[in-house]
Amino acid sequence: MTTLQDCRSLDAQDPLRGLRDQFNLPEGVIYLDGNSLGVLPRAAAARVAHAVTQEWGEGLIRSWNSAGWFELPQRLGDKIARLIGARAGEVVATDSTSINLYKVLSAALNIAAQDTPRRKLIVSERSNFPTDLYIAEALCRERGCQLRLVEPEDIEAALTPDVAVLMLTHVNYRTGAMHDMAALTAQAHAAGILTVWDLAHSAGAVPVDLNGAGADFSIGCGYKYLNGGPGAPAFAWVHPRHADRFWQPLAGWWGHAAPFEFTPDYRPAPGIGRYLCGTQPVLAQTALDCGLDTLLAAEPLGGMAALRAKSLALTDLFIALVEQRCAGHGLGLATPRAHERRGSQVCLTREPGAGVAGVGSGAYAIVQALIARGVIGDYRAGDSQRHKDILRFGFTPLYIGFEDVWHAVEHLRQVLESGEWRRPEFNQKHAVT
């Protein structure tokens, strides 16, 4: 049995424990939702205030040059590149994940249409994040293609000669299950198929090696493990072998080779620069810059490999404590136990019909009761077929410690044993779950 004292000893021995001081964590909160919205970096308020009062307030339009605003998408992209196995100059931080997916998926379809014109299918996972599926569906409508959705175990068999693109999220948002990017990319390429990887739950959470895997296109979020703040700019990466081949469809002036020549015709910037569209959100990029610095601060301590080792230790501990202390309450584990298949989150399931008056699973109410106690996770609704309701807990090793895990599970045990989650206020659904 693991004790609170054991957890305190693990924290005392943790070489990454000092990284937590980079964040403003509210008193009394155990924050297990960094997979949805990362914590505010301490540096962000002053940096954004400086960008507002000095760069904008005093520098005005001059700041596009003097404060380096114009280069922000590439400068932040270079920082993100260090976390995802890309090289400097291969990534831009811009727009949202959904918009970047539209751009790179269009480019992938353009390449396929030229190189392998008979291929008309996009393959993805049925439980991929909905925005990915919606964007793909919209593109399929535009281009007369089709989206084929499969279960994870059927992906390999779905790589047939009519498939143009395999579009996957590396770490699944509902289960935390992680794909083997290198193996699936190799299988796709052997079948003549391009790959698009969504790194929303991977960038800053697990080591990623896009170039090592030989992937084709990738996008990801800035507001989760990159700690860039609500609605932070996302990122896009395109393998250099593809970057110059096609325009992306949102060919705005920021993706032009020389935007300030103001020519009436479009001439795309070389490389990833053409994946920009319009004027950039400088204040949001300034906040994202602070978020990225919190991750790069781990580089002298072993970087993503060290963060990954701690993340696995945290998620192993959470699983073990839930199984030791919360047995008999209808909880199951949706996240793979195998380290090589697990992201940085743990998702617990609850049986349908285990909720108040037999309606629903009670998973939502349990999460609300935990939030009321200061343990912040989130809830993802199941569907009637394959997926049960999920209580989702993200473990960001930059600011979560082993003692936090112990207390979180103790609160979960008390919520379940006392039945306080049955209270009406915890069973009222909010707009954001």
Ligand X SMILES: Cc1ncc(COP(=O)(O)O)c(C=O)c1O
Provide the binding-site residues for ligand X, judged by CB under 6 A.
Answer: 96-98, 129, 131-132, 169, 173, 198, 200-201, 221, 234
Examine the residue annotation and report whether 379 is marked as an active-site residue of this protein.
Answer: no
Examine the residue annotation and report whether 224 is marked as an active-site residue of this protein.
Answer: yes
203 token code pair: 């960038």
Buried b (16+ CB within 10 A) or exposed e, 302-324: ebbebbbebbbbbbebbbebbee
**Rounded to the nearest whole angstrom, what is the least distance from the CB of residue 218 to ligand X in the complex?**
12
Query: Catalytic pick from 23, 31, 102, 129?
Result: 129
**Rounded to the nearest whole angstrom, what is the least distance from the CB of residue 432 to ligand X in the complex?**
11
**CB of 206 within 8 A of CB of 343?**
yes
Query: Catalytic pick from 14, 33, 95, 198?
Result: 198
Instruction: Report the residue number, 83 or 234, with the smaller CB distance to ligand X.
Output: 234
**Rounded to the nearest whole angstrom, what is the least distance from the CB of residue 124 to ligand X in the complex?**
11
- Distance from C-alpha of 396 to C-alpha of 175, rounded to nearest angstrom: 16
**Rounded to the nearest whole angstrom, what is the least distance from the CB of residue 368 to ligand X in the complex?**
20
Residue type, 344: S
β-strand partners of 91: 237
326 token code pair: 């919360």
DSSP 143: H
Query: Catalytic pick from 217, 223, 379, 402?
Result: 223
288 token code pair: 């994202």
**Rounded to the nearest whole angstrom, what is the least distance from the CB of residue 179 to ligand X in the complex?**
12
Instruction: Report the residue number, 201 or 310, with the smaller CB distance to ligand X.
Output: 201
**Of 414, 390, 418, 393, the residue nearest 405 (C-alpha):** 393
Instruction: Report the residue number, 151 or 299, with the smaller CB distance to ligand X.
Output: 151
Instruction: Report the residue number, 220 or 397, with the smaller CB distance to ligand X.
Output: 220
Cα dihedral 100, 168, 284, 240 in deg (nearest 10): -60
**Of 389, 370, 320, 429, the residue nearest 33 (C-alpha):** 370
Instruction: Report the residue number, 236 or 369, with the smaller CB distance to ligand X.
Output: 236
Query: Catalytic pick from 79, 224, 380, 388?
Result: 224
Examine the residue annotation and report whether 198 is marked as an active-site residue of this protein.
Answer: yes
Residue type, 131: T
Examine the residue annotation and report whether 413 is marked as an active-site residue of this protein.
Answer: no
Instruction: Report the residue number, 201 or 274, with the smaller CB distance to ligand X.
Output: 201
Q: Where are the beta strands (DSSP E) in 99-229?
A: 121-125, 146-150, 163-169, 194-198, 217-220
**Of 134, 81, 106, the residue nearest 255 (C-alpha):** 106
**Rounded to the nearest whole angstrom, what is the least distance from the CB of residue 382 to ligand X in the complex?**
16
**Rounded to the nearest whole angstrom, what is the least distance from the CB of residue 347 to ligand X in the complex?**
13
Instruction: Report the residue number, 55 or 198, with the smaller CB distance to ligand X.
Output: 198
Return all residues near 75 (Cβ < 8 A) that are at least 6 apart.
Answer: 68, 289
Query: Catalytic pick from 392, 399, 402, 426?
Result: 392
Instruction: Report the residue number, 169 or 427, with the smaller CB distance to ligand X.
Output: 169
53 token code pair: 């009062």
- Distance from C-alpha of 92 to C-alpha of 23, rounded to nearest angstrom: 25
- The greatest distance separating any two alpha carbons of the chain, rounded to the nearest whole angstrom, comes to 70
**CB of 205 within 8 A of CB of 223?**
no
**Rounded to the nearest whole angstrom, what is the least distance from the CB of residue 199 to ligand X in the complex?**
8
Examine the residue annotation and report whether 129 is marked as an active-site residue of this protein.
Answer: yes
Return all residues near 80 (Cβ < 8 A) that are at least 6 apart.
Answer: 86, 91, 93, 203, 220, 226, 235, 292
**CB of 163 within 8 A of CB of 191?**
yes
Instruction: Catalogue the active-site residues.
Output: 129, 198, 223-224, 392
